[in-house]
Structure 1
Amino acid sequence: MRVLFGWEFGAGLGHVTRFRPIAERLSAEGWEIVCALQEIERGDALIDRATGRRLPGVRVIQAPRWNIPSDPKIRQIPTHIFADVLRIIGYGNVEALRQRISAWRDLIDVVKPDVVVGDFSPTLNLAARGRVPHIGVGNGYTTPPAGRPMPPIRPWQEKLEPFSVENERALHRSINAALAALGDPPVDYVADALHGDETFVFSLPLVDPYAAYRTETTLPPFNMPRNITPKPLAEREERGVFLYLPRSHKLTPVAVAATKAAKVRGSGYISDLAPDGARAESGPGLTIHPEPQDFATVLPSVRLIVHHGGLSTAVAALLAGTPQFILPWNLEHSVTARGLAATGGTVVLSGGHEDETSLRNAISNLASDQGIAERALAAAGTVDLGDPEAAIATMLGRVKALAGA
């Protein structure tokens, strides 16, 4: 049997690590596994840790790519529903969409999978429709409910902006025009492109922006950090701070300088920063490590983590009972941060306070704030990530069933 995993949009490792536990089990049963990734470098997430080589039967190939705008000013364009996000990354271009649906079709024809699994891969979903059984997977943010107009991404927003409504209408017309040009039937709603014949949403209600609108049950994420045990405050490093940010985050240089100036005992990791860069950024008050750090070891031992709001990091800190100071990088991170703030153990950077002095004062104060430390510890006891093995078994069973195994 052969499965095609596809990843089209989104950043980071989370999309590929959602594939891994399914790929491991299928690999052990002799399946052929083809992973079409928008960033082939992320294929290292499919390496067998025991051998240092890729899992048996796994091949990594380049997925059809989009020319996504890289101008930082793009982040200033308002996004209130997921259609706004898709329009920004070019999904409203009929010809570009037609070409990529066709490219995914060609890839399916070459690979000849028995089943397709797409993570944040709307174009793969459109290409697979009616041709091969396909499953959509994703987190809460990337998978708005199907069969209806898109609800607001921000759970606290009650009314849609007129431009968002028009963006969804325009996107719907573009998608159906591209499908018509290829002789395919239309979709009823834009959100339907983010779903497969069956769809699995891996999310926690606390951070699912569409929790109030979902009718299907979400599954517990199986690519979340686990086995993290909180430590009492007396056993944590006094004024210990861990900094974890992407190199491309606009506030990373400011946050590094602010942490050094905050008179804390800081350590950190900046993703995509070369070892020489890590050494150059280190200084009194802050040691930047050249490699990722083990959250289960680091987070329970510090009094504060400063990060961008990535879901895995946020959940790890929540489990560790460690206060969080979140500098959101995008809307998804803002929604995650807002959900965590409700626990009382998280502070979210507000607009107008992005200068070094404001960040330094916030980090310095939070690193010794007894109240937020106690609330973060209390929140750790309320976290229920569910049973990841049950979630894996559910998805694995449906992959096999749709493939006819």
Structure 2
Amino acid sequence: MSRVLMAWELGANMGHIDRMLITARALRERGHAVTFALKDLARAHGRIVADGFPVLQSPLWLPRMVNPPKLVNFSAVLAAAGWLDSGGLAGLLSAWRGLFELHRPDLLVCDHAPTAMLAMRGRGTPVAAIGNCFEIPPRRDVFPAMNYWDKGDVAQCARSDALLLAPVNQALALLGDSALPRLTELFGGVRCIAASLPELAHYPDYDERVRMVGPSYVGDSGVAPQWPAGEGARVFVYLSPEHADFNALMEALRQSGMPTLVHAKGLSPDAARRLGGPSIRFESAPVRMDQAVRAAALVVSHASLGTVSAAALAGCPQLVLPNHMEQYMVARRIIDGGFGLAVPPGSRNTDYPALLRRLLDEPCFAAAARALAQRHAGADPTKTGACIADELEALLR
């Protein structure tokens, strides 16, 4: 039996926990002992502790950056994790190493935990990075631009890496470690496993150094979808009620009369009464994703990869309202694939009735969605978890 430590440091929401849990279950079935180090322990009990796994708190960077430099690639993610502050980074690395000494893992699995990866560098324990493709960029001499379609940002990638490399190497020197020759060597010697469909990878140009193993999301938990009455196509909506256009979209759906099921975490009962109607049902609890997308003709979300993947495998056209860069990169892939439309952050006076009509009336969107689903017929998160477990067991051997 091997000891596996699964670490989560950056990001939010349930995607990281769900992806690690799918993998941890597969490893446990094979006789390995798995412990979690989590960013957000408030989300631990219902998923991780209830499943019988022990949990620890990840070391975290708490200060907020003031007037951060313009960084155009993955270096921006690392900067937000404290990597511009050499003394602060040295403290985080020391904390991770203290955790390693307590746990003594035979394998470290990092789900968006770059500081844990750096802390384990050169210490003889195998390391794997699992995540979506935002968290595992393509391997290059420099990290590629997040706006990979923008020539100006592409030209700034080397400068972005250089701005971070100096304080990182200062932090390593404080700990007596050797310097990184380039920032992308963070992933040197790390087994990189991307849980994504190739068509939904945040960046379009990966090579064999990143293994893509399929979609990762928990589709079989939550309440069964209860669809309201109404005429026309069913619409499943998974959005934050804090989005600036939430009310406008709900009004468009209410006016359409289409049966619409909405999961909007945190929506007040008063707002639900005001925005609802006979054809709209608001569900406060998470909805079983697999059942909801199979019954829907259209899925509306913020372009989080798990929701987008579930809808894609069901052959559903999608309307996405991304909130930040990671989601916007997925939105670009949806547009490029022809199976959906996106409303970019900051858009004003969006004609939602027209967008809904286009997605449901123009056959090209449904055809592209069905073609994507057919290309990946048989893909499911359980198989993805088993595939990741195979990769990890190879490292343990």
Q: Indicate the residue corresponding to 2:78 in structure 1.
A: 86
Corresponding position: 1:54 with 2:50: yes
Q: Indicate the residue corresponding to 1:142 in structure 2.
A: 135
Counterpart Cα distance in 1 of 2:368 and 2:391: 40
Q: RMSD of the alignment, in Å? A: 3.3
| SS in structure 1 of the partner of residue 21 of structure 2 | helix
Counterpart Cα distance in 2 of 1:382 and 1:81: 31
- How is 1:4-403 mapped onto 2 (pairs within 5 angstroms)? 4-44=5-45, 46-47=47-48, 54-56=50-52, 58-67=53-62, 69=64, 80-131=72-123, 132-146=125-139, 148-158=141-151, 160=153, 163-194=156-187, 197-224=190-217, 238-271=232-265, 273=266, 276=269, 279-280=272-273, 282-284=275-277, 285-350=279-344, 353-355=347-349, 358-363=351-356, 366-383=359-376, 386=379, 392-403=385-396
Please list the CA deviations of residues 118-173 of structure 1 after superposition, one character each: whole Å capped at 9, or x if unmatched: 11111101111122322222221111234621122234334535554322101111
Please list the CA deviations of residues 270-320 of structure 1 after superposition, one character each: whole Å capped at 9, or x if unmatched: 13x267477456511422111122233322333322211111211222222
CA deviation after TM superposition for structure 1 residue 245, in Å = 1.0
Please list the CA deviations of residues 84-120 of structure 1 after superposition, one character each: whole Å capped at 9, or x if unmatched: 3333454312222111111111111111222211111
Counterpart Cα distance in 1 of 2:110 and 2:185: 13
Letter in 1 for 2:109: V
Letter in 2 for 1:12: N
Percent of aligned pairs with the same amino acid: 27
Give the gaps of 5 or more residues in structure 1: 48-52, 228-235
Letter in 1 for 2:78: L
Counterpart Cα distance in 2 of 1:139 and 1:335: 12
Give the gaps of 5 or more residues in structure 2: 221-229
Counterpart Cα distance in 1 of 2:380 and 2:236: 29
Please list the CA deviations of residues 170-197 of structure 1 after superposition, one character each: whole Å capped at 9, or x if unmatched: 1111111111111111122222325653
Letter in 2 for 1:14: G
Please list the CA deviations of residues 189-245 of structure 1 after superposition, one character each: whole Å capped at 9, or x if unmatched: 222325653222222221223442424252323524779xxxxxxxx9614322211
Please list the CA deviations of residues 365-393 of structure 1 after superposition, one character each: whole Å capped at 9, or x if unmatched: 54454553444344433335757666545
Contact 1:98/1:178 (<8 A) preserved: yes
Letter in 2 for 1:139: N
Please list the CA deviations of residues 334-378 of structure 1 after superposition, one character each: whole Å capped at 9, or x if unmatched: 2212212233220111467433x6234433554454553444344
Contact 1:239/1:368 (<8 A) preserved: no
Counterpart Cα distance in 2 of 1:78 and 1:304: 37
| SS in structure 2 of the partner of residue 342 of structure 1 | helix
Letter in 2 for 1:179: L
Contact 1:136/1:196 (<8 A) preserved: no
Q: Indicate the residue corresponding to 1:3 in structure 2.
A: 4
CA deviation after TM superposition for structure 1 residue 327, in Å = 0.8
Counterpart Cα distance in 1 of 2:77 and 2:155: 15
Counterpart Cα distance in 1 of 2:361 and 2:387: 44
Counterpart Cα distance in 2 of 1:212 and 1:147: 10
CA deviation after TM superposition for structure 1 residue 253, in Å = 4.2
Counterpart Cα distance in 2 of 1:126 and 1:97: 10
Counterpart Cα distance in 2 of 1:62 and 1:343: 39
Counterpart Cα distance in 2 of 1:391 and 1:257: 38
Structure 1 pair 221–278 and aligned structure 2 pair: CA distance change class (3 A): farther
TM-score, reference length from structure 1:
0.82
Counterpart Cα distance in 1 of 2:193 and 2:207: 12
Counterpart Cα distance in 2 of 1:10 and 1:390: 24
Structure 1 pair 218–123 and aligned structure 2 pair: CA distance change class (3 A): same
Moved more, 182-191 or 20-29: 20-29
CA deviation after TM superposition for structure 1 residue 64, in Å = 0.9
Contact 2:193/2:213 (<8 A) preserved: no
